[in-house]
């Protein structure tokens, strides 16, 4: 991870399927505006029961592929308020 202290906050975007209790990470290292635009663009295209969620990302992640990023998965696990914990699935962007 690369320190982002004192810079613009970062966001990651997760696809969450509540029917299957699964998630995948679709974007990371985004500005808040980029994350919001991504969610607004793709949320209408999601299947029923699925949605895009943006989460705070405290540091820039060095992994180029979000669906391969361990740091992103840790953020999701710590942020999830669902029991049982959602299962991680590697998928391409929506």
Specify the number of domains making up the chain.
1
The alpha carbon torsion through 30, 31, 32, 35 (nearest 10 deg) reads -30
Q: Which domain holds residue 69?
A: 10-88
Residue 94 in domain: no
> How large is the C-alpha radius of gyration of the chain?
13
- Answer whether 0.75 is exceeded by the pTM: yes
Contact residues for 91 (Cβ-Cβ < 8 A; gap 6+)? 15, 24, 26, 67
The answer to whether residue 5 sits within a structural domain is: no
Structure confidence by residue, pLDDT tens digits, 26-71? 999 999 999 999 999 999 999 999 999 999 999 999 999 998 999 9
The whole-angstrom separation of Cα 3 and Cα 17 is 31
Q: What is the mean pLDDT of residues 19-23?
A: 90
29 lies in some domain: yes
pLDDT in the model for residue 80: 76
Strand 10-17 relative to strand 50-57, pairing: antiparallel
Is 93 within the bounds of a domain?
no
pLDDT band at residue 81 under the 50/70/90 scheme: confident
């Amino acid at each position: 991870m690369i320190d982002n202290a004192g810079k613009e906050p970062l966001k990651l975007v997760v696809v969450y399927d509540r029917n299957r209790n699964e998630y995948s990470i679709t974007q990371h290292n985004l500005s808040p505006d980029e994350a919001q635009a991504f969610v607004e663009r793709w949320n209408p295209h999601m299947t029923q029961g699925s949605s895009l969620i943006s989460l705070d990302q405290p540091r820039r992640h060095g992994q180029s592929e979000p669906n391969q990023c361990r740091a992103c998965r840790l953020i999701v696990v710590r942020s999830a308020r669902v029991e049982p914990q959602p299962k991680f699935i590697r998928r391409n962007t929506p």
